[in-house]
Chain A
C-alpha cells in the first residue's frame, strides 16, 4: 500500500506548488485501532485528517458510552475522505470521530491548515462554503475543462480558410475587388518562391497614409515574414502564436505546402459558428433533401458538444432548438400551406421540456381546429414521422407521435382526453398526462395549442385532489440514501433517473401545472416558481444545482461507457459511485439530500402521507 499523499484530488489540487510543499513537509501519519476515538467532542482536534485506509464514524457526543445499536452515526468516512477541518477552524469538535475499523490517516496540523486557508482563499472557501458555494467551485473547474477539451481540436479539422492567392503584378484595385468578391479580408501574393500577406488594413495604409496609387502592385506592400503553423498543430498553439506576435492570422502549412489561413476571429467563435451555421442552413433548406443533409449534420453537433463537455444546460438548450427547427421546417415543407393555420404541431415529454442531450424519440402530436377537413392528413403525417425517423429521430416505442391517429386530434378531442386522463390519474393515463403537460407548440397555429393549455389550466385550477394524485408519482422511488445519510450504493450503480431526476422533474411539473407556469423547461419552471413564491428560494436553487449535477454525472458516465464498453440503453441511467471522485461523490450525496427534502416538501404540500 502506498502512503503517498494524493495531491491531485480536490481541494488539495487548488494549492500552489509552494503551498503543496508546505503541506507535504508537515503531514503526519497516524494509526488508530478499531474503536479508538480520533477526535473527541469538545476538544480541539489535532488537525485535518485525511483517510488513507479504514473507516471512521462521526457520532453524537454521548454515544461512546452507549451500546453500538443505540448510537446515532451521522456519517461514515472512508479512504480519501477527510474530516476535522471544520472542527479545526472552529477550535473545538462537537461530535466524536471514532475509528470503526483499523484506520490509517494523514494529519495536517491545525496551524498549517489555518495558514493555507489564509494564504489561499479558494482553498479556504472550499472548507467554509455551503453546498451551493462548492458547486460553484465545481462548475468553474468544469469551464476550464471545457476549454481544455476545446483546445485539443487541431488546426486542420476546424476553421481553417482557403486562401485567396494572387500572382505578383496584380494591382491594389483589382486585388481589392477580388477580396470583396470572395468576402475575405486578406490575401496571399506570390513573389518568386515566397508568399506574402496583404490585408485590407495594409491596402488602406498604403493608399491613404503612404499615398501610393491604386495601380501599385500588391506584392510591393505585402509582408513576407509570415508566421506559420502545421496542419496537425493544436488550435491552442495557433492561438498562443497569434497572441505572442500580436497578429490576427497565421498561415497553415503541411510539409511546406500551403493549406490555408487561420483567422483569430474564427478560432474564437469556433463553437457558436458551428451551431449558428447549422441553424441558418435549416432555415434556408428548400427541400426535404436539403433538410436531411443538415439534420444529419446535427448528429455531429450533438457528439461534438458532448465530447467537448459543453455545460449541459447550454447543450440541452442548443440541441432542443436545433431539433425543433428541423421539425418545424419539415412540417412546413410537408403540410399544405392552406392547412397550416388550422393545425398545430406540438412536441412533448423531454423534448417539450427541452431537456434531451442526445436525439431522442419522437414525442409529438398534432392539434386541429374542430371540424377541419383534411383528407390527406394520415398520409402526410405518416410521411412526417417516417422522414423524421430517417433523420435520426427514432420512432416513439409508446406510439406517441403523429403517425398514430390517437395523437392527431381536434381541439375538442384533445381536451376530452386531458380531462379523461386527469380523472383517471394513474398508470398509462398519468404517463400520457405528464407527457402532455410538458408540451409546447413547434409549428402551425400555436393559438390552438394555447387554447387547449389555458383551458386545462383553468379546469385543473385549485383541484387539490387531482394534484395530490398527480404529484404522488414523484414519491414512487425511494431516495438512494442510507439511514445514516450516506449514498446507498449497489454494485451495478444507482439509478439516477429514479433516485434523483424524475422526482425533481415530476414534482416541479406538478407545481408548474398548479401555478399555471407556461415554461416547460424544468430549470425555467423552477425560476418562475421561485419568483412567484411558490417554492422557497433556497430549495429551488438547490434543486437547480442538484438536477444539473445529476444530468451532468449521468452524461459523463454514459460517454465513458460508450468509449470503453459500448453500453446498452438499459443502464443509461446508472451511476457507478466508485467511478466518481471524492468531490463529485460529496456533491451527489448532498444533491440526493436535496431531493429528499423536496419530496418532504411535496408530501406536505400535496398531502401525500402514507
Chain B
C-alpha cells in the first residue's frame, strides 16, 4: 500500500471513529432521570481537556520552533505548561464558584460594568482568532503535503472541513470524541518520537533520549557523543550559535517571555470552559490533575523531538560527510515538501548539491517560487534566489553558504519521513495532526461564537435579542471566524507559535490582572480594573506595533525585552495602575464585596436568619 493510500485510510478511520462516537453518545438515552457525574470519569475528562489544550501549535509547530531557536524555545514549553497549572489551581476553581462560563462574563459581573466586559470580550476574541489561525495553518500544512496540493489550497480544504466538523456537525465538545482525539494524537506524537530516538541513539524513551549518546551506526563522526553535544558541534560548524546556548545571553528576556505566556495562557477561554463541564467540583479538580499528566506526556517529548529531529535533518541533507547531497539523490520527502512550498533549494554555488548552513539563500527570509517552473533536475525555481558571491557568508565559521529553506512548521510532520520510518507511522502522524487541529479549532470556534453572540450582542449591544437570533449570531460568528482564520492561515504574519505568543502577551497585559484581582481583592473596583486593563493593553500594543511593524530595531528594545516578552511589563503596569486608581476611587458596592468574600469563604443561611 502506498503512503498516500495509508494516510487516507488512517485519517478516514480516525474521522469515522470521532463521528461514530458522537452519534453513539447522542443517540444513547439514559435510564435514570438524574445521572451521576454525567457518566464521564475524571480521567476521561482529563484526556478531553488535554485534547482541547494541545492544538496544532503544540503538535505541529512547537517542536519545530524549539528545533530552530534552540534553548530559548523551552520558554514556550514552560510558559504553556505553567500557564495551565496557574489556570487549574489559581483561577478555574474560583471562576467556577463565581458561576461564570467565560472570562468576559466574570469581568463584566465582578466589575459591574459593561465597559469592562467589552474590553475582555475583545481580548478573548483576539486571542481565539490568532489561535484558530494557527490551527488553520497547521491543517493546511497537513493537507498540502498529503493531498499533494499547495499550502494555500490545503488551508482552503482545511477551512471547509473544520466548518463542517465544528459548525454543521454539531460535534463540539463531546467528551468521548475528544478522548478519542487525544488517544490518536498522543499515539501519533510519541510513536515516531520513539522510533526517531531509537534510530539516532539506540535509546527507546524520547523523554530521556537527550542525555543518551549518538549511535555510531547513525553517524560515525558523531557516534559516542551525547546528543546535545553532538548537535552543538554540528550546528556551530555550519555557522549557527550552539543549540544549548542560543538566546541565553538574555535570561531576563526569557524569564519575562515565560511569564507573559503563562499569564496569557491562564485566560484561554476554551480550556477554562472544560473545568466547568464536570458536575462535581471534586471531579473537576481531579480531572485537572489528569489533564496535566496527559499534557506532560506530549510536552516532555518535545525537546528530544526538536533536538534529534534537527540532528537528523542536518545529517540527511548534508550527508554523513557533511559536504552536501546531490539533488537527484535527495529522498522523496524533500521533493514532496518542495511541492507544498515549505522547502526550497537554491543552488547558490552551482555544484548541484544540496547544502544546509546558516544564512538565507534568498533576498529576504522566504523563497518566492517562480510559478511552477522547474529546473532540469526537477527542483522548483525561485525568483528571489541568490547565486555565487551574492550570498555572503563567513567562510571562517561555515564551510559553504546555505542553500536550503525549511519551514519550521513542518518539523514534526517531516521527521518520520526524514528518518525513513515505516509508512504507517507517517500516516499516523497525519491523522494525529488533524486530530490536534480539529479538537482545538472546534472548541475555539464554539468559544468565539458564543463570546460574540452571548457576551457581546446579548449582554452588551442588543439585550433583547431572542434566543433564536442568538443562535443565528453564533453560527454567523463561527463562519466569520473560520474565514478570518483562513485568511491568516493563507497569509501568516509569522510562525504559528510566535503569532500566538504575541496574542498571549496582550492577554497577559490586559485581563489576567483583572481576573486575579477580581478574585483575590475585595477592594478592587471597576475604575481600577478598567484603567489597569487599558494601560496594560495600550502600552503593550504600542511596543509590539513599533517593533514589529514600524521598523524598530532590536538595539532599541526596552531593557533588551523582545515584543513577545513585553506583555509581562504591561501586566506589571496594569497591576500598579489598578491599585493606585482603585485606592483613589470609591470601593465597589457592598454586595460585590460579599460575593468576592463568599467565593473563598462560603456562608450559610443560618447566619442570615439568626433573628
Interface residues of A (CB under 8 A from B): 370, 410-412, 414-416, 419, 423-428, 430-431, 434, 448, 451-452, 454-456, 459-460, 462-466, 468-469, 472-473, 476-478, 498, 502, 506, 536, 601, 604-605, 607, 609-610
Contacts and interface: CB of A to CB of B under 8 A. Distances in A.
A473 B37 CA distance: 11
Contacts of B38: 426, 472
B178 to A, nearest CB: 9
Contacts of B170: 609-610
Nearest to B25: A610
Contacts of A416: 604
Interface string B28-43: 0110111111100000
B606 A502 contact: no
B99 interface: yes
A426 B34 contact: yes
A425 B150 CA distance: 50
Interface stretch (B79-87, B463-471, B575-583): B463-471
A415 B605 contact: yes
Q: Which one of B38, B171, B446, B450 has the greatest number of beta carbons of chain A within 10 Å?
A: B38
Contacts of B100: 464-465
B555 interface: no
Given A370-B606, A423-B280, A607 B101 contact: yes
Given A425-B280, A464-B101, 15 more contacts: A370-B610, A412-B605, A419-B602, A423-B281, A424-B282, A427-B36, A430-B34, A431-B33, A451-B605, A456-B605, A464-B99, A464-B105, A472-B279, A502-B33, A610-B170
B609 A465 contact: no
B22 to A, nearest CB: 9
B36 A428 contact: yes
A476 B32 contact: yes
B34 A473 contact: yes
A412 B604 contact: yes
B112 interface: no
A463 B99 contact: yes
B309 interface: no
Contacts of A455: 604-605, 608-609
B96 interface: yes
B279 A609 contact: no
B1 interface: no
B34 A451 contact: no
Contacts of B30: 476-477
Contacts of A604: 467, 470-471
Given A411-B605, A462-B99, A607 B29 contact: no
Q: Which one of B33, B282, B446 has the greatest number of beta carbons of chain A within 10 Å?
A: B33
A452 B604 CA distance: 9
Contacts of A434: 34
Nearest to A601: B467
B605 A452 contact: yes
A428 B34 contact: yes
B279 A430 contact: yes
A268 B602 CA distance: 59
B467 A451 contact: no
Interface string B43-60: 000000000000000000
B419 interface: no
B175 interface: yes
Contacts of A468: 101, 276
B33 A473 contact: yes
Contacts of A462: 99, 109
B174 interface: yes
Interface size class of B (residues with CB under 8 A): 35 or more
B278 to A, nearest CB: 9
Nearest to A539: B467
Nearest to A424: B280
A426 B96 contact: no
Nearest to A463: B99
B27 interface: yes
A607 B443 CA distance: 13
B99 A607 contact: no
A610 B52 CA distance: 14
Given A468-B276, A469-B279, A610-B172, A426 B37 contact: yes
B401 to A, nearest CB: 54
Q: Which one of B36, B100, B173, B174 has the greatest number of beta carbons of chain A within 10 Å?
A: B36
A473 B466 CA distance: 24
B29 A498 contact: yes
Contact of B604 (A415, A428, A605): A415
Given A464-B105, A604-B467, A476 B35 contact: yes
A425 B105 contact: no
A146 to B, nearest CB: 32
12 contacts: A426-B37, A427-B36, A430-B34, A434-B34, A455-B604, A455-B605, A463-B98, A472-B279, A473-B34, A476-B30, A609-B173, A610-B171
A424 B96 CA distance: 12
Contacts of B174: 610
A478 B26 CA distance: 9
A465 B608 contact: no
B606 A609 contact: no
Nearest to A506: B33
A363 to B, nearest CB: 14
Q: Which one of A410, A448, A476, A477 has the greatest number of beta carbons of chain B within 10 Å?
A: A476
A477 B170 CA distance: 18
Contacts of A473: 33-35
B281 A605 contact: no
Interface in B67-104: 96, 98-101
Interface string B595-611: 00000001011101110
Contacts of A428: 34, 36
Nearest to B28: A478
Contacts of A460: 99
B96 A477 contact: no
A609 B101 CA distance: 13
Contacts of B609: 411, 448, 451-452, 455
A411 B611 CA distance: 12
Contacts of B279: 424-426, 430, 469, 472
B34 A424 contact: no
A434 B171 CA distance: 29
Q: Which one of B96, B467, B606 has the greatest number of beta carbons of chain A within 10 Å?
A: B606
Contacts of B471: 604
B165 to A, nearest CB: 13
Interface in B433-470: 446, 450, 466-467, 470
Contact of B27 (A463, A478, A601): A478
A422 to B, nearest CB: 10
A579 B333 CA distance: 69
A508 to B, nearest CB: 15
A466 B174 CA distance: 19
Contacts of B98: 463
Interface string B508-520: 0000000000000
Nearest to A369: B609
Interface string B464-493: 001100110000000000000000000000
Nearest to B609: A451
Interface string B380-413: 0000000000000000000000000000000000
Contacts of B105: 464
Q: Which one of A426, A468, A605 has the greatest number of beta carbons of chain B within 10 Å?
A: A426
A427 B35 contact: yes
Contacts of B608: 451, 455
A438 B79 CA distance: 48
Given A419-B602, A431-B34, A609 B467 contact: no
A604 B450 CA distance: 10
Contacts of A506: 33
A581 B546 CA distance: 76
B35 A609 contact: no
B481 to A, nearest CB: 16
Given A465-B96, A477-B30, A426 B172 contact: no
A477 B32 CA distance: 9
